[in-house]
Amino acid sequence: MKREFETIVVDLRTHSGEPLPFIYGTSVIILHFRRSNGSHKYYDNNDPYLRYYLDQTGSGIGSVYRGLDLFSLPPTQTSIEGGQWVHYKPVSSLSDDAPLEFVVPGHGDEYVDLSHTLINITACITGIKEAESAILYGPVNLWLHSLFSQIDVFLNQKLVTPPSHAYPYRAYIKTLLNYGPAAKTSHLTSALWYGDTPGFMDDCVNNAGAALRH
């Protein structure tokens, strides 16, 4: 039997002889090798067909192994049995000069998924005179974050967020730079992210983003 091959063809078929596709999208793998000295120390004492691994021009030996791996399970999350939404209301009364505080108690056999923690706010614009048009007023971009000058998060009575009174500006810059168009036109719209028309950020008439936020 030859100990070195220039081409290897692997054709996967079922017990009835039909071609068997696998997760990488093809049922035939063709490997091409170039002649070389095969002196790389990494392949010492290994199988002969690995000698020209670095010189392969086809799908590669690794593709053969991955293609034949039809029965191993991908990483599966088994620690969470289920979940539920729990609503918490502010523990303090609403006022202009008092912080809005929520307390989420812990449970021994449950944990809080902070990545799925939401805040729901219902608001309206007030103080508009009858002679004025409501179209002249509207929420700013990323309005939900602009409502708060500072947000503090405590875990086990320990502050885990940096204290800063520039929260709305930091949130705006992070959203602007860290998210792509797909996110800005989908889930970020729940925080009223609609891009302003350049040069008309304070104009509710000629600003396309302001019209969408209405």
pLDDT tens-place string over residues 17-75: 776 655 444 444 444 545 554 455 555 555 554 554 444 444 555 555 555 666 667 77
Predicted TM-score (pTM) of the model is 0.56
Res. 175: pLDDT tops 80 = yes
3-state SS of the chain is CCCCCCEEEEECECCCCCECCCCCCCCEEEEECCCCCCCCHHHCCCCHHHCCHHHCCCCCHHHHHHHHCCCCCCCCCCCCCCCCCCCCCCCCCCCCCCCCCCCCCCECCECCCHHHCCCCCCCCCCCCCCCCCHHHCCCCCCHHHHCCCCCCCEECCEECCCCCCCHHHHHHHHHHHHCCHHHHCCHHHHHCCCCCCCCCCCCCCCCHHHHHHC
**Is residue 189 very low, low, confident or very high in pLDDT (cuts 50, 70, 90)?**
very high
